[in-house]
A and B are shown apart, each in its own frame.
Chain A
Amino acid sequence: MNDAINIKVPILARVEGEGALELKIQNNSIKTLQLRIFEPPRLFEKLLIGRHVEELPDLVARICGICPVAYQMSAVHAVESLANYSIPSWLHELRRLLYCGEWIESHALHIHLLAAPDFLGFSNVIEMAEKHPQEVNRGLTLQAIGNDIIQLIGARSVHPIGVKIGGFHKIPETSQLQALLQKIEVAIPAAQDMLTWTIAMQRPHFDNKLASVCLHHADEYPMNRGNIISSEGLNIDITDYEKYFKEFQVDYSTALHSQLNQHAYLLGPLARVNLNFQQLPTEIHEILARQGYTLPNHNLFDGMIARTIELLYALYEAQRIIKNNDFSNTKTPEIKLKSGIAIGCTEAPRGLLWHRYDIDEEGYIKYAKLVPPTSQNQGHIEHSLKQSLTEFGLDKSPDELKQYAEQMIRNYDPCISCATHFLKLKIIHES
């Protein structure tokens, strides 16, 4: 038997963007494993230089078709922090509702269309739909509700334009919110069923012991605000991010890698539910208890369950916000912009999205730095692949190794277009 194997996954399927995986195996151990992101650099930061901060919400929304709200939220919070803007509670709530829309849309898409086929043994959702039409119907219905929320508040479901510094260009009518509430209330039982469905799925097991990182706020499940915390005890203000997190280049990826204390770390739904379990509502605690599912849980293949928990949470939260708020007499105040270093950090569906803008006296951007979650997760993905593929068995066939590696990567729901800002697998067995 030849003991040197090269495996190449030339294009990663069912992930967002273009990347590949190259794996060199020698004497039944991994010699090289590289997650190659070859999507060209998109130069977002450079494109923002010289633009006025008032253009930011519309410009950054164009970076990603899946998480435009996250980009808008990190940007507006950054600029507003410089102006010492005290965000009114109605605005905090309406922004949170908009963010719920993005989480629902993104998570529903990933769970049903991208991840579930792996766990149920189908090559894609079109095959899965033949055998599981009700589940796929449910996924599309939930995704549509997320889109409806973004459409109503953001004025468009893709690349929304309703957000401005200090608030919104237009506040939705009460009747429109009530119509949305009816759809959300119908969707909640479907999302509850979905949580039971994902927990019952057969799944592989792999624990990664590296740190998990996310926002944390005493009063709420994290979306728009909070300190950056880790499973290792880190608890810092978002303005201190650059003191602890270091970005660096590797020669095989157009996306920067990132480390905390010289180690890779995990972002995203699994990190959030593990570190913010107490912030989830009683209804979710009760469903999880009935299913015998406990948190924290470090099995990376449970990422889909974490997404389902968050999708259900986002529906509850959207319901709460619409029921408890009257937005009819709200008005976006004028904000006096200030120069300086503006920092914003919010929780995109895939994890921490950190922004820094250096703004001059006229309000123009002199420097911009955007650190998206997928680039931060690259090191953790590689670390998980090295360990889990070894546990899985490097003597498995190239097809089995490829399938396992892709499923592992999809657990992270990587958004490569944001990270370059993804997978072809190449496996090389060497003698």
Chain B
Amino acid sequence: MNHKLDPQDSIKIIGIGNAYPPDNLGHLIAHQIEQKKLISAHLHPQFLYVHSPTPELFNIIDNSPTFYIDAMKSGQKPGSIHCLTLPQILCHQSSISSHEIGLIHSLKLIHSLKNEINTMAIFGIEVSEDSFLDDKYCINTANIIADEINLRSQSLNSRCFKK
């Protein structure tokens, strides 16, 4: 089933994290994209910022095409940008603990509870405790992710990630 973005529809861009570096990077990048209006206006982007993914996302996710931006640790070079699609999220294997219910766990759980949600992609920005990602990096990364969101949103007619 294809999802068509009607003129009155909007896409959601959700920055995830807390107020402290490096976990705040998801918020910083989403904020850059919002402030610099990097998303095509016809997509009516709605920007949201959440701290603890599971309960907050559970309440705000609907069937709008949604992109997530979050800090991530996978051992790769700090500053690398990962892009995970829904099939990759649903295939992810990991245990859950109270501090380790991250965005991927939350989305897997919410997908199992809600039928009508439309996860387009997670953009994960690789961070480490001892690296500093400066303003220039944030601006460049915001531009790269915004281009990707614009591109992926244009193909909404042909791409569908609904459960």
Name A residues whose Cβ lies closer than 8 Å to a Cβ of B. 11, 13-17, 62, 65-66, 105-106, 109-110, 113-114, 124-126, 129-130, 133, 136-137, 140-141, 143-144, 147, 156-159, 413, 415, 417
Contacts and interface: CB of A to CB of B under 8 A. Distances in A.
A361 to B, nearest CB: 32
Interface string B84-117: 0000000000011111110001001100110000
B133 interface: no
Given A17-B99, A105-B55, A133-B113, 18 more contacts: A14-B97, A14-B98, A15-B97, A15-B98, A65-B99, A66-B99, A110-B98, A113-B101, A124-B96, A125-B109, A126-B96, A126-B105, A130-B112, A144-B59, A147-B56, A158-B51, A159-B20, A415-B98
A113 B96 contact: yes
Contacts of A143: 54-55
B21 to A, nearest CB: 13
Contacts of A136: 109, 113
Interface in B27-62: 51-52, 54-56, 58-59
Contact of B58 (A109, A140, A158): A140
Most chain A CB within 10 A, of B19, B52, B112, is at: B52
Closest 5 A/B residue pairs (Cβ):
A144-B55, A13-B95, A16-B98, A129-B112, A143-B55
A158 B54 CA distance: 13
Contacts of B58: 140-141, 144
Contacts, number: 81
A14 B95 CA distance: 7
B64 interface: no
B143 interface: no
A30 B59 CA distance: 48
A129 B59 CA distance: 16
9 contacts: A16-B100, A66-B99, A124-B95, A125-B96, A144-B56, A158-B51, A159-B18, A159-B19, A415-B98
Nearest to A422: B97
A106 B18 CA distance: 18
B96 A14 contact: yes
Interface residue SS majority, chain B: loop
A108 to B, nearest CB: 8
A141 B112 CA distance: 15
A158 B52 contact: yes
A109 to B, nearest CB: 6
A139 B50 CA distance: 19
B112 A66 contact: no
A62 B113 CA distance: 31
Given A147-B55, A157-B51, A126 B109 contact: yes
A58 to B, nearest CB: 11
Contacts of A159: 18-20
Contacts of A62: 20
A189 B97 CA distance: 27
A140 to B, nearest CB: 5
Given A13-B96, A124-B96, A144-B55, A158 B113 contact: no
Nearest to A62: B20
Contacts of A415: 98
Given A140-B54, A158-B18, A66 B59 contact: no
Nearest to A64: B99
A3 B54 CA distance: 45
B88 to A, nearest CB: 15
Contacts of A114: 96-98
Most-contacted residue by chain A among B51, B95, B99, B113 (CB, 10 A): B99
A159 B96 CA distance: 21
